[in-house]
Amino acid sequence: MPDRGGGPTGPRIRVGRPSRRVRTLLMTLGVLAVLGMAFTMFAGFWTDWLWYRSVNYSSVFTTTLWTKIGLFFVFGLLMALAVGFNIWLAHRLRPPLSAMSMEQQNLDRYRMGIAPYKKWLLLGITALVGLIAGASASSQWRTWLMWVNGVSFGEKDPQFKLDISFFTFDLPWYRFLLGFGFAAAILSVIAAALTHYLYGGLRITSPGARATAAATGHLSVLMGIFVALKAVAYWLDRYGLAVKSSDFKATDNWTGLRYVDANAYLPAKTILFCIAVICALLFFATLWRRTWQLPVIGFGLMVLSAILIGGLYPAIVQKFQVQPNEQAKEAPYVSKNLKATREAYGIDDAQVTEYGGASTTTDKTKLRDDVDSTASIRVMDPNIVSPTFQQLQQMRNYYAFPTNLDVDRYSKDGKDQDTVIGLRELNLAGIPKNNWINDHFRYTHGYGVVAAKGTTADSEGRPVFTESNLPSQGDLGTYQQRVYYGEKTTEYSIVGGPQKEIDYSDDNGEKTFSYTGKSGVNLSNPVNRAAYAVAFNEPQILYSGAIGEGSRILYNRTPKERVEAVAPWLTIDGDAYPAVVDGEIQWIVDAYTTTNGYPYSSRTTLGDTTADSLTATNNSRAVVAQQNQVNYIRNSVKATVDAYTGEVKLYQWDTKDPVLKTWMKAFPGTVEPKTAITQSLMDHLRYPQDLFKVQRELLSRYHVEDATTFLSGSEVWQVPDDPTNKSGDAVPPYYLSMKMPDQKDQAFSLTTTFTPNGRDNLSAFMSVDAEAGTSDYGKIRILKLPTNTTVSGPKQVQSTFNSEQDIAETISLLNRGDSSVEYGNLLTVPLDGGLLYVEPVYVRGGGLKYPLLRKVLVTYGGNTAFEDTLDEALNKVFGADGETTTPPEDDGGGTTTPPPTSDNPTVQEALNDAQKAFEEGQAALKKGDWEAYGQAQKDLEDALQRAEDAQAEEDKSGGASPSPSGSPSPSSSPSG
C-alpha cells in the first residue's frame, strides 16, 4: 500500500546559493580530502606489501589479506541481506493505515518525512550493519584458517570420544557462526519490529489488535530462528563443557568436566536442547495459527527450565551428592584432567626421582674433585655484567649492549665452554649530534660480537673475553660483524644510497661503509618514497637528496618483531639470542604454537606464568603471545634472523605437532623442514626459557599423578621468589652445563628450584636437557626432596649468607662509601645426594660504574665459604685447601710457642712481601681504591707463589719446613 501523508505545507524560503567560485573551491577541497585519505590508506597497504615482499614472505601477506577480505564481504553481505530483507519484508507487509488515533497521526509525520529517502535509508542501514559485521568477521581469520585447514590430533577426548581437533579447530568456528547467527537474528527482530511499528503493523496505544496477522507471522518466524539457534547453542554447550574453565580447590584454572558437569549439566543441556527445538517449532506454527499464545508459553517454559534444570538442579547435585564425598566423586575426573594437562604441556614424560638432600660421602676431598665433573659453574651472571661489557667493550658512545646478555656454548680445542655473549648494537642516544641524517643515514648499524667465559673472571674480577675489541677478534674466527638488525635497533635506516654510513672508528679515524645487502625496500621508485613519507609521517623521505639510486629503507628490525610479522600465528619467546653460525651473526628466536581448546587441560596465563624478576625490569624479555590464555603449547618452530641481511627463516622443530601442521597447510612454503637445520646452527639451539617457565608452573601441581593426592593439595609446590633482589618476583631459570645424578656427562641444561607452598625450604630441583640435537633433549628431570627433612631453599640460603658474622662484616665493608654490592645468580647443583649453592658477588663503585666479581659464596652440607674465587670457596667448603696449620706447642708453663720458622731468607722474604701486599690490599679496600686493590692482589699472588717455589726447592734439598705464623692466604683473606 502507498504511504499515507498529506496536510498543508509551510511557505518556501529561498536560500541564496553560494557563488560558482566558492562551489568550485569547496568541491576541489573535498576531492583533495578524499584523495588524501585514499592515499593514506593506500600507503599503509602498499608499504606492508613491499615489506613482506622484501623478506620473501609475500604469501603470508596475501593469504592473510584475502582471508580477511573474504570474511569481510561474505559475512558483511550476509548480515546486510538478513537485516535489509527483513526491513523490506516488514515494509511490504504493512497494513492500510488510517489516522484513527493520536499514535498513528504522530507516526504519519515520520512516514512522510522518510518517504522520499526510503531506498537510501534502507541502503544506509544495511551498509552500516554490514560494515560492522564484516569487520568483526575479518578479525576471525585465524579461526577460519584453523577450521578449514585443521588436521587430526590422532587422540580422542575421554568424555565424548571425539578427536581433539574438533575442540581446537572446529568448535571455535562453530561458536563464531552461532554468535553471528544470534547477532543477525536479534538485529533482524529489532529492525523488523521498528518497521512494523512505524507502518502500523504493531500498535501500542491504538484501539484494536496490537499486531496484524502479517506482523505476527513475520516476527514469530524470526523469534523461532532465534530459539532454534539457542537450541544449537545448548547442543554445542555440551561439548564446551570439555574446555570450560572453572574454579576448583585443586587449581584456579581447572578445565574440563567435573562430577556435576557430567551428571547434571550435561543431561540438562540435552533436555534444554529438546525444549528449545519444541519452542522453536511453536513459533514457526504461528504462520498458521496467527497467535503468540503457545510460543510465548513455550518460551516461558524454556526460560523456567533453564533456571531449574540448568541452574538449580546442578546446585542440588553439588550440594547433596558431591560435597559429602567430594574426593570419591571427583577423582575420576581429576585423573582425566591430570592426564590431559600433562600431555598438553609436554610434561607427561617428566622423570620424578626421590633425592635425599644430604651428602652420602664422608670424604669431602673426593667431593671437591667431583664438583668440576658435575658442573661448569658459571660465575659471570649475564644479567649483571652487561654494564661491565659496556664499560670495557663499548668503544664508542653510539654502541650499546642489551640489559641482559645471553648464555651460549662455544667449542674450543674440542671442549664446550659456557659463554656469556652480547652484540655491540647501535645506540642512537649516544651519537654526537641527533638530526635526521645522523639518526637514519649515517649511524645505521652496530658492530661485532663480544663474548666472555662464563666460568671464570680475571684477577680484578673482570670477564675473561674470548671475543673482544673493535673490530672484534678472538675465538669466533671470521664472520660478518655488522649488526643491522638487533634488539635495540628500533628506528628505521636508509642505506645503500649516496649518503655514506659510519662503519666503525679506530686509531686511524672513522671508517665508512655502504650497505650492499638485499634487505629492505628500494626507494628509487617515487611512488615508494611518497608512500613511506606518508606511512612514517616524514616528508623529507619524499624530497631528500640523501636518497638516490640504490637507497633502501630498513625497518621492523628487532628479531622478535620480524618473526612475529612473517608468522602472525606464532607466540614468540621473550628472549632472542645471538650466535655466530657459518660466518654470520644469527639471531635465534624460539616460537610456539598454542591453543586454549585442548579438552580437560587446565589453562594458564602466559603473561603471568612467564613473568619473573628479569621481565619485571626488562619489558623486552616479555613473551609475545597471540592468545594469553592457553592450555596447550609446543615449541614447534625455531626461527633465525640474520643480523646483516635481516633474512628470516622458520624451521619446523616439532614434527608431530598438529597445530603447526595446520598452519603449514594454511601458509604453505613458509616453514622449512627440520632437516634444513645445519649442524652448525643445531649446536646453538637450546631449550627455550618461556616454555620451561610454563612447564615449571604446571609441574608445581601436576608433578603428582594420583588424583587423591592432587585433590588434597599436600604436594603443591611453588616457584620461589628471587632472593638476590627485592622485586618480589619469581626466580628466573638458569642455563648451566651440569649433570644430574643419572647422567654420565655434563649437558647444557636449564634449571630451577621449587619450595613447598607457603614455605621457604626446598621441595624439589628441576632440570631439562637444553642441548638440541641430543637424544635427551627436552627430557625433564625432577629431584624430589623428602617431606620429613628440611633442606634449605634459595631464600634461606641467601639469608644464611647474609647472617653469618664474617660474611656480613665483609659485605658491610664492601658496601661502604660509593660502593654497592650486587648479588649474581644463585645457582643450585645436585652433588652426591646433597645440594651445592653458588652465588657470585659483584661490587660496583670506587669510581667505577660497572660491577666486578669480588667474592663467591658457596654452601654445601651446612658449610659456607665466602672467598675471592670459586676455587678458593670450594676448597674451603670441602676442606681441600690445606689450610690446617700446626697447633702451637705448650711449654708446660701455660704459654705456647709458635712453630719454628724457616731460616731460608728467600721463603721468609716472600712471606713478608705477601703480608705487606695483604695489608696494602685491605687499606685500598677501605678507601674504595679498586685499582690499588687489584695491584695488591697481584702482588699477593706473586709473593705466595715465590714462597711456594722456594719451599719446594728447600724440600728437595732437605731443608726445614716453614710454618710462618700469621701469613696471609687467598682463601682466608677477607679482602674484596
The pLDDT of residue 492 is above 90: yes
- Give the containing element (helix H, strand E) for 386: helix 386-393
What pLDDT shows up at residue 900? 39
What's phi and psi for 6, nearest 5 deg? Answer: 130, -165
More confident residue, 69 or 299: 69
Query: Rounded to whole angstroms, how far apart are CA atoms 255 and 603?
Result: 7
The arithmetic mean of pLDDT across residues 117-121, rounded, is: 83
What pLDDT shows up at residue 176? 97
What pLDDT shows up at residue 414? 80
- The pLDDT confidence band at residue 5, using thresholds 50, 70 and 90, is very low
More confident residue, 949 or 773: 773
The pLDDT of residue 10 is above 60: no
Residues 434-448: tens digit of each pLDDT: 899 999 999 999 999
What pLDDT shows up at residue 948? 66
* Closest C-alpha among 181, 184, 180, 176 to residue 141: 176
- The pLDDT confidence band at residue 885, using thresholds 50, 70 and 90, is very low
The pLDDT of residue 343 is above 90: yes
Residues 517-572: tens digit of each pLDDT: 889 999 988 999 999 999 999 999 998 989 988 899 999 999 999 999 999 999 99
The pLDDT of residue 956 is above 90: no
* Closest C-alpha among 189, 5, 221, 212 to residue 95: 212
What is the percent of the chain where pLDDT is above 70?
A: 88
More confident residue, 43 or 973: 43
- The pLDDT confidence band at residue 881, using thresholds 50, 70 and 90, is low
- Would you tell me the crossing angle of helices 293-307 and 213-240 to the nearest 10 degrees? 20
Residue 719, CA distances (Å) to 90, 310, 648, 729 in order: 63, 39, 35, 10
- Strand pairing of 351-354 and 780-784? parallel
Residues 616-664: tens digit of each pLDDT: 777 777 888 878 899 999 999 999 999 999 999 999 999 999 999 999 9
Phi-psi category of residue 293: left, alpha or beta, with phi > 0 → left and psi -120 to 50 → alpha: alpha
Query: Rounded to whole angstroms, how far apart are CA atoms 456 and 29?
Result: 71
The pLDDT of residue 16 is above 60: no
- The pLDDT confidence band at residue 599, using thresholds 50, 70 and 90, is very high
The pLDDT of residue 13 is above 70: no
- The pLDDT confidence band at residue 926, using thresholds 50, 70 and 90, is low
Across the chain, what does the average pLDDT equal? Answer: 85
Global pTM value: 0.84
- The pLDDT confidence band at residue 275, using thresholds 50, 70 and 90, is very high
The arithmetic mean of pLDDT across residues 780-798, rounded, is: 88
The pLDDT of residue 475 is above 60: yes
More confident residue, 935 or 697: 697
- Cross-strand partners of 408: 419
Chain centroid, CA 792 distance in Å: 30
What pLDDT shows up at residue 507? 73
The arithmetic mean of pLDDT across residues 582-609, rounded, is: 94
The pLDDT of residue 945 is above 90: no
The arithmetic mean of pLDDT across residues 859-881, rounded, is: 87
- The pLDDT confidence band at residue 968, using thresholds 50, 70 and 90, is very low
The pLDDT of residue 296 is above 70: yes
- The pLDDT confidence band at residue 38, using thresholds 50, 70 and 90, is confident
Residue pair 530/614 in contact (Cβ under 8 Å)? The answer is no
Phi-psi category of residue 247: left, alpha or beta, with phi > 0 → left and psi -120 to 50 → alpha: beta
What pLDDT shows up at residue 736? 92
What pLDDT shows up at residue 102? 64
Q: What is the largest CA-CA distance in the chain?
A: 138
- How far apart are the two ends of the chain, measured CA to CA in Å? 100
Alpha helices, H only, 445-603? 526-535, 540-543, 559-566
What pLDDT shows up at residue 891? 38
Residues 802-848: tens digit of each pLDDT: 888 888 888 888 887 778 888 999 999 999 888 999 999 999 876 66
What is the percent of the chain where pLDDT is above 90?
A: 54
- The pLDDT confidence band at residue 950, using thresholds 50, 70 and 90, is low
Q: Residue 28 has which C-alpha cell?
A: 576541489
The pLDDT of residue 799 is above 90: no
Residues 185-241: tens digit of each pLDDT: 999 999 999 988 888 777 776 665 677 888 888 999 999 999 999 999 999 999 999
The pLDDT of residue 360 is above 90: no
Q: Residue 342 has which C-alpha cell?
A: 600433562
Listed in sequence order, the residues at least 6 apart from 751 whose beta carbon sits closer than 8 Å to its beta carbon are 733, 734, 735, 736, 738, 765, 766, 767, 768, 827, 828
More confident residue, 4 or 910: 910
Residues 310-323: tens digit of each pLDDT: 889 888 998 888 88
The pLDDT of residue 916 is above 80: no
